[in-house]
Amino acid sequence: MAKPAILTVDDDPAVSRAVARDLRRQYGEEYRVIRADSGAEALDSLKELKLRGEQVAVLLADYRMPGMNGLQFLEQAMDLFPRARRVLLTAYADTDAAIQAINIVDLDHYLLKPWHPPEEKLYPVMDAMIEAWKAAPDRPVTDVKIVGHRWSAPSFRVRDFLARNMVSYRWFTTDDAEGQRLLTAAGLTGADVPLVVTAEGKTLVAPTEAELAVQVGLTTTPAADFYDLVVVGGGPAGLGAAVYGASEGLRTVLLEERATGGQAGQSSRIENYLGFPDGVSGAQLTDRARRQAIKFGAELLTACRVTRLAVQGSARVLHFEDGTTIAAHSVILATGVSYRRLGAPGLAELHGRGVYYGSAATEAPSCRDQDVYIVGGANSAGQAAMFFSRYARRVHLVIRGRSLDASMSRYLIEQIAAVEHIEVHPCTEVVAAHGDEHLERLELRHVDGGQSRTVDASWLFIFIGAEPRTDWLDGVVQRDARGFVLTGPDLLTGDEPPPGWLLGRDPYHLESSVPGVFAAGDVRADSVKRVASAVGEGAMAVSLVHRYLVEGQ
């Protein structure tokens, strides 16, 4: 950690050097003495120190300086480092000004020039200043710093991106005094957020995830052009494939668009994964898997969105958003699914804290004797309503349509009708979610508008469909009507292989319509949407890759 700074500014370079020399001699071991020849130069140094999260113990400024005098400098310096002790260097004639300064910048001391001998005139003053600062020092912040608005989606996204990638950061709102200081140091205003300040003091305004990833030290570019295996997607299936691929000697790279962990990484507690009787958080599981993959020599790239797959002879070429490519003998598609999101304010911030997308059966016991809200009118929402009715005091099924008839199977509608404590709210939408630490209230409104009503709610499960985002495979890899990747026997029509399949064998079990391109996990048609099955399919796909490399081409 950097030593706290003592900054001295004097427009006379000879005086400035002499003060700095005397200070270094006495305090150089514990403090970094920084000198400047003008107020503007000194302020620039302070801004850099602020952005790097360093400390400033004492500021010594000459009063009579052209451009910006010592008082003006100290006034601005206070905005950046309010805890730094302030000393004004004055000549005899400036004594009155110095006394006034006590009122303006709450001056701690004025020191008459000349200060020689320092042992008598300078050091005792400095000792007192340092002692006072030590009693209430500013804290060094060596983490990444984020300044943003509490409820702004871009600010949330930056925090979420860093958190999911396990980069530690300090979060300041624009209302925080320290947040304001960082904005001032960066020469920005509250309109320029989210502001990210790296540990080195570099500032990024509303960065893209790719920019952010590079600046916080995540690996975003591959080390080689060609691999045995490229895994697309860093959820459980992709991480499983990377661990098995690398551990079995394949040159393996994993490409992840956002953060490794995928959907599972968002789960606060996975209770049904083998070997974790007390459950495991998605973040923990991901961190372990990531370290395991890296230990075996896999490359893990983040903020790498794959946008196209091409077949060039025996090579499988993947294109990135920025136009660059990477090639391999084989590919495992493990891009999972994304639950469609509800855009109502507050839901994103409370995601995982009372607001859940898709099945969150592990939360059910916690809902016992409470009200549960479910959004969605399809079978998945109906099944969830039935499931939660075993635990909850009351289940509220919120649907935009007039009834369930158009979207849900009859048997489920009948089951729901038979359960007294399931209430269907037709023509209703969630327009906002509120809560501090977790979801506390929902605002519901009739779809035709009008007044919203607020209900107390701690649990909201959203079932408005899971989508595989596989458009980029269009025309290359066969998918079903919903976009899930078809593999193995599902590709056969009768005994006929898929169109364009030229090999003398059928596709292997997890192999897609393109030889050497496999699919694992939720993205695969008819897959079981579970962490364990995704991991298992990742491992299984690797064994099929081996078979493909040895005998299958």
Cβ of residue 293: shortest distance to ligand FAD, in angstroms? Answer: 13
State which residue, 65 or 374, has the beta carbon closest to ligand FAD.
Answer: 374
- Size, binding site for ligand FAD by CB under 6 A: 41
User: What spatial distance separates the first Cα and last Cα of the chain, rounded to whole Å?
Assistant: 55
Does residue 140 have a cis bond before it (omega within 30 degrees)?
Answer: no
Stretch 112-141 residues interacting with ligand FAD (CB under 6 A): none
Contact 362, 461 (CB under 8 A): no
Which span sits near ligand FAD by CB under 6 A: 50-58, 79-87, 300-308, 508-516? 300-308
The encoded tokens of residue 80 equal 């950046």
State yes or no: residue 468 binds ligand FAD (CB under 6 A): no
State yes or no: residue 354 binds ligand FAD (CB under 6 A): no
State which residue, 235 or 354, has the beta carbon closest to ligand FAD.
Answer: 235
State yes or no: residue 80 binds ligand FAD (CB under 6 A): no
State yes or no: residue 488 binds ligand FAD (CB under 6 A): no
DSSP H stretches of helix in 186-231: 209-215
Contact 546, 508 (CB under 8 A): no
Cβ of residue 490: shortest distance to ligand FAD, in angstroms? Answer: 17
CB atoms within 10 A of CB 162: 23
State yes or no: residue 507 binds ligand FAD (CB under 6 A): no
Q: Which of 53, 179, 222, 235 binds ligand FAD (CB under 6 A)?
A: 235
- Percentage helix, strand, coil for the chain under 3-state DSSP, each rounded to 5: 35, 25, 40
State yes or no: residue 258 binds ligand FAD (CB under 6 A): yes
Q: Which of 236, 354, 382, 516 binds ligand FAD (CB under 6 A)?
A: 236
Contacts of 100 (CB under 8 A, 6+ apart): none
State yes or no: residue 18 binds ligand FAD (CB under 6 A): no
CB atoms within 10 A of CB 4: 22
Angle between helices 123-135 and 13-27 (to 10 degrees): 60
State yes or no: residue 522 binds ligand FAD (CB under 6 A): yes
Nearest to 83 by CA among 5, 166, 197, 24: 5
The amino acid at residue 552 is G
Distances (CA, A) of 150 to 3, 59, 182, 310, 434: 32, 33, 16, 43, 13
Q: Which of 3, 113, 170, 305 binds ligand FAD (CB under 6 A)?
A: 305
Q: Which of 266, 428, 478, 512 binds ligand FAD (CB under 6 A)?
A: 266
State which residue, 257 or 511, has the beta carbon closest to ligand FAD.
Answer: 257
Residues that bind ligand FAD (CB under 6 A): 232-238, 255-258, 262-264, 266-267, 270-272, 304-306, 334-337, 356-358, 360, 362, 469, 472, 521-523, 529-532, 534
